[in-house]
Amino acid sequence: MIPLRSVPEVQAGDDLGRLLADAAGRAGGLEGGDVLVVAQKAVSKAEGRTVRLAGVVPSERARAAAGDGDPRQVEVVLREAVRIVRMRPPLLIVETRHGFVCASAGVDASNAPERGTVVLLPLDPDGSAASLRRRLEELTGARVGVIVTDSFGRPWRQGTTDVAIGVAGLTPLLDLRGERDRVGYELHGTTIAVADEIAGAAELVMGKTAGVPAALVRGLRLGGTGSAAELVMPPERDLFR
């Protein structure tokens, strides 16, 4: 686990791949097979996925859902949501257009570029991860995996853990079905969300306030291909819709 400490504050339009490649270079360089984990906020800022609240006119629905929160911010959340899963004003847990279920559709005012601004999730986090991966290979020659992460809450458990919302160049789900344990019991249905475990592991060295938006994870030997879309439970298998 190698934190990338020297990434500058990201601005809209920045070449994030170059910023990360440079930071990785100062940390000893990328190696083939590394997984580069980058916080969603950095990706969203580079892609200009921010909204100034001053220009947002909240709907009646947003005012009702806001409680003592900012109705303009709730308006932005509702525009990002395709379904409301739970509501306890000002807390909204929604399904995003990507299929993620999370608080406030991932819309967040912390670590925004300036006060009065909120940061949205990337429009296509898997696409963002794939673009970053291509750019990193172009700049460094190293074929790495890329994971874009965000902090999600979980039902029944306190605290957030970082999970993968964008994946490129590695398999996000490790399928052990068919392998057998020591006494020959077949591990039916044992599928491990390794991309989420890598995301959480990286959070341990990135932190929330430390200004470390990325980390390298080395030695996993995962490879493969895939996307974070595979981590979304298909509706027909979902017991919690």
Least Cβ distance, residue 90 to its own copies (angstroms): 10
Query: Among candidates 197, 198, 218, 215, which has minimal Cα distance to 206?
Result: 215
- Binding letters toward its own copies, positions 108-137, x by CB under 8 A: -xxxxxxx----------------------
Q: Which one among 10, 101, 120, 130 touches its own copies, defined by CB under 8 A?
A: 101
Put residue 60 in one of left, alpha, beta given phi > 0 → left and psi -120 to 50 → alpha. alpha
Q: Quick one: 91 or 138, whose CB is closer to its own copies?
A: 91
Two structure tokens written together for 33: 């097979």
CB 147 within 8 A of CB 38: yes
| Pairing label, strands 145-154, 35-39 | parallel
- Does residue 126 sit in helix, strand or coil? helix
- Binding letters toward its own copies, positions 5-44, x by CB under 8 A: ----x-----------------------------------
Strand partners, 211: none
Q: Is 182 a binder of its own copies (CB under 8 A)?
A: yes
| Pairing label, strands 2-4, 117-119 | unpaired
Interface contacts to its own copies, rule CB under 8 A: 1, 9, 86, 88, 91, 93, 95, 100-101, 109-115, 151, 154-163, 172-174, 176, 179-185, 187, 190-194, 196-198, 200-201, 203-204, 208-209, 211, 220, 230-233, 237-240
